[in-house]
Structure 1
Amino acid sequence: MKVLIFAGGDIEDYSFVNQYVNISDYIICADSGIGHTRKINLLPDLIVGDFDSASQEDINYYREKDIDIKNFPTRKDKTDTEIALDMAIEKGAKKIYIIGGTGTRLDHSLGNIHLLYYALQKNVSAVLINQNNIVHLIDKEIIISGEKGSIISLIPFSLEVKGVFTKGLDYSLKDAVLYSGSSYGISNVMTSSTATIAIKSGFLLIIQELKD
């Protein structure tokens, strides 16, 4: 099952969104993420949050559409996006796309990157997507599809990542070790339309450029 989550971060260009709407089985909005779905005339399946940032107009609009809305207290131990992620996992999601998870709130952006680890610990693949990038987190192997010439950056999420192997990248790695605190893996380049990245231990963030 594929679930799409709309969080409340910045989206300047919605042209990339439809491809993820079309392949998703279920759509969840986290709080002011409803502002994004309303702009593109999309009815989500579920809306969650404390609604401290969503507009009352948007809330009323979806209430009139009889969309399932779950309210949570403002004082809580999880962000609205994490609550949405929990709901997606409870629904049986195996792939989760998070749109609107990055923006001017750097704390939320970093927190949402950590939610990729939270999902991975539950054997669920989650990615953060905006108009410029896709952020993956792996503990084994991934095959990435993209455009030749796209930038791929490899950033250790654990203190070290061992046994790093790449295929289809300009700067190839074989049984390499990447260390936290180093910029060694920044700005590699895809040499074809696919790239394989594998690791033996640790956790590796992969930031993939989306070319126009």
Structure 2
Amino acid sequence: MKMVIVANGTLSKTDRLLSLIQQADMIIAADGGAVHLHHMGIAPQIIIGDLDSIPQEILSCFKEKQIKIFKHPVRKDQTDMQLCMDYAIDHGCTNLVIMGATSTRLDHTLANIFLVRTLADQGIPTMILDACNDIHIVVSRLTLSGRPGDLISVIPISDRVTGLTLKGLEYPLLDQSLCMGATIGISNVFQQNNAEISLKSGAVLVIKPKEEN
């Protein structure tokens, strides 16, 4: 089941974003993500969070539409994003796109990115999408489409990564071992329409930035 989570961070309305939302089998709003959806004229299937970021008039609007709302206490051990991810996993998610997960709050941004590791370990393809980047965590393999000249960075986020192989890029790697903090994977370049990333152990953060026109 394809799912989209819309969170309360920075979100730019684009044709690509709208297309991904329209293709989803389920749309989950993480608290204030419901505000973004309201402004786009889109109703989620469910709103999850402590509801501290949703104006009452917008919340009332969704209640009138009989949207499911799972309210949690403000004082809790999980972020709204984690609650949404847990719900997605428990309800048969097989592919997840997350929007509005990045912002000027670096703590929330990093927490949201690292939460994706849980889904990667379960084999659930997950992408965080914002106006500037497509973000993935890879623990086995990933193929990304692009155009020759597009940038891509592969960053180790576990103590050690083994068997890292990069294909279709200007700077390929073959069965490389890297430690966390290594920068060899920064600013690689697509040579073909597809890039392949694979590894034997550990985890890497894969970021495909969008260059300004």
After TM superposition, the score normalised by the length of structure 1 is 0.95
Query: What's 1:172 paired with?
Result: 172
* Residues in 2 aligned to 1:51 and 1:61: alpha-carbon distance in whole angstroms: 14
Q: Is the 8 A contact 1:116 1:125 kept in 2?
A: no
Structure 1 position 167, deviation (Å) = 1.0
Partner residue, 1:151: 151
Q: Is the 8 A contact 1:28 1:46 kept in 2?
A: yes
CA distance in 2, matches of 1:122, 1:13: 30
8 Å contact kept, 2:121–2:139: no
Q: Corresponding residue for 1:200?
A: 200
1:210 and 1:51 mapped to 2: Cα distance? 32
Give the distance between the partners of 2:27 and 2:13, measured in 1 at CA.
19
Cross-structure match for 2:110 = 110
Partner of 1:133: 133
Distance 1:123 1:73 in 2: 30
Measured against aligned partners, the alpha-carbon deviations of 1:146-182 in whole angstroms (never above 9, x if no partner) come to 2221110001010121111111111111111222122
Partner of 1:36: 36
8 Å CA contact retained: 2:12, 2:130: no
Task: After superposing the two structures, state which structure 1 stretch, 118-127 or 176-185, moved more.
Answer: 118-127
- Give 3-state SS (helix, strand or coil) of 1:134's partner: strand
1:94 is aligned to 94
Distance 2:151 2:133 in 1: 10
Q: What is the CA–CA distance in structure 2 between the aligned matches of 1:2 and 1:147, rounded to whole Å?
A: 25
User: Contact 1:7/1:100 (CA < 8 Å) preserved in 2?
Assistant: yes
Q: 2:8 maps to what in 1?
A: 8
Q: Name stretches of at least 5 consecutive residues in structure 1 with no aligned partner.
A: none
Paired amino acid for 1:112: N
| C-alpha contact (below 8 Å) 2:153/2:187 kept by paired residues | yes
- Native 8 Å contact 1:146 1:210 kept in 2: no
* 1:188 aligned residue: 188
Q: Deviations for 1:103-159, whole angstroms, at most 9, x for unmatched residues?
A: 111111000011111222333222211122111111111110122211100010101
Percent identical? 37
Across the aligned residues of Structure 1 and Structure 2, the Cα RMSD in angstroms comes to 1.4
1:57-81 per-position Cα deviation (integer Å, ceiling 9, x unaligned): 2211111111111100001010001
